[in-house]
Structure 1
Amino acid sequence: MQAQMVPFIISEDARGQADFYIQALGGEIGILTTFGSMPGMPEAHQDKVMHMSLTLAGGNRLILTDAFQETPKGSNMGLALTFSHEEDARAAYRNLSQGGTEKYPFELQPWGAYYGEVIDRYGMTWQMVFQG
């Protein structure tokens, strides 16, 4: 099984946090998608960051997303795995969800990728992505 691991942060202010990291480490925003692109999202949440990909400090990737509620310090870190093969992404989703919680089902999303999210038995949030 092969995958690329990309850290992501669940933030109360993803845009502000990204600006801080860019100022502190150098870098740029590569992708910024808001929850407004999701059908049926309430207007109050439409400007929240769904996915923001940063390149920092000479090529390191980091992903940020806005939280929908206050996040206790220390619980705002998760891991994102981007797979080359859909079967591997599905297997990782199944394996990591054992003893944990399936937060978002692994399925084709409106933006064209397969995506799923689980919280493992230790409380770590994992995102699985396959872009075919």
Structure 2
Amino acid sequence: MGAQLNAYLMSEDARNQANFYVESLGGEIQSLRTFSEAPGTPEAMKDKVMHLALTVAGSNMLMISDSFVPVSGSRSISLALTYDNESEAREAYTKLSEGGEAKYPFALQPWGAYYGEVVDKFGVTWMITKP
């Protein structure tokens, strides 16, 4: 029996966050459902995203939902992207850094791979690698 593990992000602005990832990493929104589809949803919440699925950087699935409570970033989880091409990795690092914070510069490391770490403007930590 197998299983598939996907990252599911809670967001204060799921639509903009998803669009930022599509622009930064390439990809497309596969599906979007709002809370208007759930019975009893208050009028003010009906346009909020209940579930959004998108592919990024090829066929990697990422899911996002609007949160009903404030969202804060955590160092306990990072999203790791590994590229075969250095220029694609560098471009992803640069684009994800826009409006965010470069935590570790993207550069050739002593272990022989390129690596950089960034916290994007939504508080998500990305580790970008090119072996």
Common fold by TM > 0.5: yes
Among the aligned pairs, what percent are the same residue?
50
**For this pair of structures, how many residues does the alignment match?**
76
Provide the rounded CA distance (Å) in 1 between the counterparts of 2:61 and 2:10: 15
Provide structure 2 residue ranges, at least 5 long, that are not aligned to the other structure.
Answer: 78-131
Alignment partner of 1:8: what SS? strand
Q: SS where residue 6 of structure 2 aligns?
A: strand
Structure that is richer in strand per residue: 1
User: Which residue identity lines up with residue 31 of structure 2 in the other structure?
Assistant: I
Name which structure has the greater RCO, CA cutoff 8 Å, separation 6+: 1
**Runs of 4+ off more than 6 Å:** none
> What residue is the counterpart of 1:55 in the other structure?
55
TM-score, length of structure 1 as denominator length? 0.55
How far apart are residue 2 of structure 1 and its match?
2.1
Q: Which has the larger radius of gyration?
A: 2
Alpha-carbon distance between aligned partners in 2 of 1:23 and 1:5, rounded to the nearest angstrom? 23
1:26 maps to which residue? 26
Shift of 1:6: 1.1
Gaps of 5+ in 1: 78-132
Inter-partner Cα distance in structure 1 for 2:18 and 2:64? 8
- Specify the code of the residue in structure 2 equivalent to 1:39: P
Q: What secondary structure does 1:4 align onto?
A: coil
Once the two structures are superposed, the pairs formed by residues 40-119 of structure 1 within 5 Å of their partners are 40-74=40-74
Amino acid at match of 1:62: L
TM-score, normalised via structure 2 length:
0.55
